[in-house]
Structure 1
Amino acid sequence: MSLLKKCFFLGAIFISVGLIAQEQELLSKDDAIKLALLNNFDIKIARNQVDVAKNNKSVLNSGYLPTVTATSGANYSRDDSTIEFPGQTLDDGSPRPDLSLYKAEAQRYNSVVNVNYTLFDGLGRLYTYKQLKEQYQLSELQARETIENTLLQLFSVYFEVARLTENKNVLQQALEISTQRITRAEYSFEYGQNTKLDILNAQVDVTNDSINLLNTLQQLENTKRDLNVVLNRDLNVGFEVDTLISFIPKLQLEELVSQAQMNNVAILQSQKNLTINEYDIKVSRSGYLPTVGLNGTYGWNLNQSAPSAFFPGTNNENWNFGLGASLTWNLFDGGGTTVRMKNAKIAYETQELVLEQIELQVERDIQNALAIYENRLNIFQIQEQNVLTNQNNFDRSKEQFQLGRITSIEFRQAQINLLNAQTNKNLAKYDAKLAELQLLQLTGQLLNIQI
């Protein structure tokens, strides 16, 4: 065996051993979905936004509960004073002495609880509360859209890993066949049945097949890291993927397409925005109505005054309880409420136009997606038949080559034709599946169908 042949043979063994060593646990489609839903950054952010909207729609943010405030205070003062009595005398005729007050201290303490409650505000807070509930539901739809887009991204990468995995297997088989050709060519050359050219051709083919396999392996590893990014886990976690693909039956798909207008997430979001704008009109209208409020206070005061020159110090303690009601009616606010009403109505009309536009666009997108899917499915079926044809041609060419009836170049051409047919079939298979998933997203059923 020649040195060059040994190098190629050892290289083929090294690659094969490396491929075996890289075998990992199977990452099924369901497992990939679960990991993405649990770990993906975009989905986590979307869930946080839903939580914020959930907090906003709480009764604690509705304005229906009263406000209670408590205030208290303490004051301290100290006076040092001297009081003179000019021209005043005592009973014995002597001048009246000055009076000095030192450390005359005074304290004041107070504490009060105020309760305010809006009994009626023109129904503004009622519609605001309903609007917040609609915004929460809108945030859920937005999160659903994020999840759908993430799953499409996930399977775009997942299927690329699957395609490269199948291509790797095909290229490995091609390399093994080319390696066997070297052995056959060398034996034939030793027995004088062919020329050195056949050996060189086989070695060139092994070189090309090795390079193609190595490039595919590198692409496969890079794509696996891309998938780990989507799953938000260690980039170097090894895994294998499921290469089995099944397509939705045509009748079931037609039923899903017929219900698309009711389930498409873009249409549902637009409808929800229309409802929110409708509440905007009602909230603005509440500015024409009066506001009725209730209030109550309960307080305590303590005033400790210092003694003066003529009065002794006093302690005055007071407890206070009060109730009140108020009515506020903004009879004219300079036209602000009227402007808000007009703008809210215009916004509602605009959203109606947006909804009509989205419905038309979705209908167009569905028809396009359906046509693309059917076309890619037909291409996949043609490629499947093409693989069978080329496999049959390759098997016969192999027999003829072993009998010496065709040249190595003709045999290599049959091998290349089969290789191209197999890789084209792999590409067509996953292109068709991705087209199906895109169609499912438009019908609003991507999260409800077993992928």
Structure 2
Amino acid sequence: MKQIITYLIFTVVSIWPVMGQNDDGNYSLDQLIVEALENNYDIRISEADLEIAELNNTLGNAGMFPTLSWESSLSNNFNDRYDNDNQTGSLQNGVRLNWMLFNGFSAHIRKDRLETMEELSGGNLALLVENTIQAVVMAYYRALFAEEQLTLLQEVMQLSEDRLQYMEDRVDLGAATSYEALQARTAYLTDKTAYLEQEVNVLSTLRELKYLIGKDEGEALELSGKLSFEARDYNLDELLSKIESSNQSIQNQYMNLALLEQQRVLQQRSRFPSLNANAGAGHNMMPESLNSASDAPGFSDGYFSYFVNFSLSFTLFDGDRINRNVQIARMEEAIGQTNLEEMKHRLKNQLFNLFDQYRVRRELVEVGRENRETARVNMQLSEEKFRAGAINSFNYRDVQLSYLQTSINYYRSVLNLIDTHTSLVRITGGIVEEYE
């Protein structure tokens, strides 16, 4: 599983930089995704978790190998009796081997659990990659949306400033009243306030994007691209089949269910007897320096010893602990199966809702685009009529606000469509391929 996830990230990172960063240093969506996959904090933590799971997935950790240890001991005995000092001592060295030969094949079950846990860690990383891509995509388009709003507010503010200058010139000529000039100034200051507040919103959205890709606050980040989206058709039956086969959350739940099944089997294997082997070899020496009564020079009374022992144990009664643990494991496995069924049902409902939203929001984008163009033409005509005296400043201001709100609604509808589309491809397991 680690190799699969590593290949996935490597493929994404190696392909996207070629097409991601522009010559002027601005970041496109592709380059932002690459930066996130390389630097995102959650992904780095999940990669470390996968590394830990791989290190744990060994035969030795499952208990299939024996343990071999070296043992050394030094013993001394001092006996002072009737002014006759007597010292005895010995030095023992040896090796000991302990091996569980049979335990109901529990070691094989534990090895299967370790493999499943490694696969689950890889699945969690894959799910995190999908969620990170979705988060970066939406943060990128939210930043573009904020910049579009800033551009619109600047355009309206400029129109208000031109209107204010026009009204002040008319007041100087005696063609307009100071009240009309005050109304124009109020409108200009209102638009300027909205513009300044939107500048803060732009910085906030860029800061969120920097966090997702692991950039510091002091690093510059400029975005390339426009807030636009080309919607395509989807087949509901194909999307439903992809949920069953490609949704990462469902795949992870299958692995969780496998862990519960393995835990139940492991509890059942506790009913089997266990056969353990214990072997060793040692050398016992009685050095002259540790034995005052010894007449032998140097090392004396040294001898070797060997042993091989087997022990067989079988649990006859333990207060019904094994049966209770098996029953609990079966209930937990049933709960896991229920969670899987609930997840499938919930994700299908989400898919139905997203599919309906996608169709409606795609139409809303077309309606919003037409409405925005109509509002733009209306504002241009209204400006000419205002300067010609055909409409008053209040009517012209209403047209300005209508254009501003219509344009914002259009870009918001595009953002909503992108949000629905991104959720749609993520829930069906295709978000990585979508943004390659």
With normalisation by structure 2, the TM-score equals: 0.84
* 1:42 alignment counterpart: 42
Amino acid at match of 1:352: Q
1:137 is displaced (CA, Å) by: 1.4
Structure 1 residues 172 and 237, CA gap change in structure 2 (3 angstroms): same
Alignment correspondent of 2:63: 63
> In the TM superposition, what is the alpha-carbon distance from 1:442 to its structure 2 partner?
1.7
User: Which residue of structure 1 lines up, in the alignment, with residue 229 of structure 2?
Assistant: 246
Which whole-Å CA distance do the structure 2 matches of 1:73 and 1:435 have between them?
Answer: 72
Aligned residue for 2:283, secondary structure, equals strand
Over the aligned positions, Cα root-mean-square deviation in angstroms equals 2.6
Unaligned runs of 5+ in 2: 1-23
Q: Is the 2:227–2:414 contact (alpha carbons within 8 Å) kept by the matching residues of 1?
A: no
Displacement of 1:252 after TM fit?
7.0
- Other-structure match for 1:220: 202
1:386 aligns with 2:368: no
Partner of 2:329: 344
The yes-or-no answer on 1:137 pairing with 2:122 is: no
Q: Separation in 1 of the partners of 2:233 and 2:240?
A: 10
The residue correspondences of 1:126-275 to structure 2 (distance < 5 A) are: 126-241=108-223, 242-251=225-234, 255-275=238-258
Does the 8 Å contact 1:225/1:236 carry over to 2?
no
Does the 8 Å CA contact 1:300/1:320 hold for their aligned counterparts? Answer: yes
Give the aligned residue type for 2:196: L
Distance between the aligned counterparts of 2:200 and 2:222, measured in 1? 15
Q: What TM-score comes out, normalization by structure 1 length?
A: 0.82
1:10 maps to what in 2? none
Cα pair 1:26 1:240 within 8 Å, conserved: yes
Once the two structures are superposed, what CA deviation does each residue of 1:304-334 show, in whole Å capped at 9, x if it has no partner? 46354xx846721112233344433335544
2:52 aligned partner: 52
Amino acid in the other structure paired with 2:241: S
What is the one-letter code of the residue matched to 2:424? Answer: L
Give the whole-Å Cα distance in 1 for the aligned partners of 2:130 and 2:104: 41
CA contact (8 A) 2:141 2:227 kept: no
Q: Confirm or deny: 8 A CA contact 2:227 2:415 kept in the other structure.
A: no
Q: 1:411 aligns with which of 390, 396, 399?
A: 396
Deviation digits for residues 344-392 of structure 1 (CA, Å, limit 9, x no counterpart): 2222222222211111111111111222232222222211111011112
Percent identical pairs in the alignment equals: 22
Count, aligned residues = 408
CA distance in 2, matches of 1:354, 1:288: 29
Distance 1:27 1:165, change over 3 A: same
Q: Distance in 1 between matches of 2:304 and 2:426?
A: 68
Q: Is the 8 A contact 1:125 1:283 kept in 2?
A: no
For 2:166 and 2:197, locate their aligned partners in 1 and report how far apart those are by CA, in whole Å: 27
Which structure 1 segments of 5+ residues have no match?
A: 1-23, 83-99
Partner-residue secondary structure (3-state), 2:304: strand
SS of residue paired to 1:251: coil
Report if aligned partners of 1:298, 1:321 keep a CA contact under 8 Å in 2.
yes
**Cα displacement string for residues 257-294 of structure 1 (whole angstroms, at most 9, x for unaligned residues):** 43112222232222112212222232222223232333
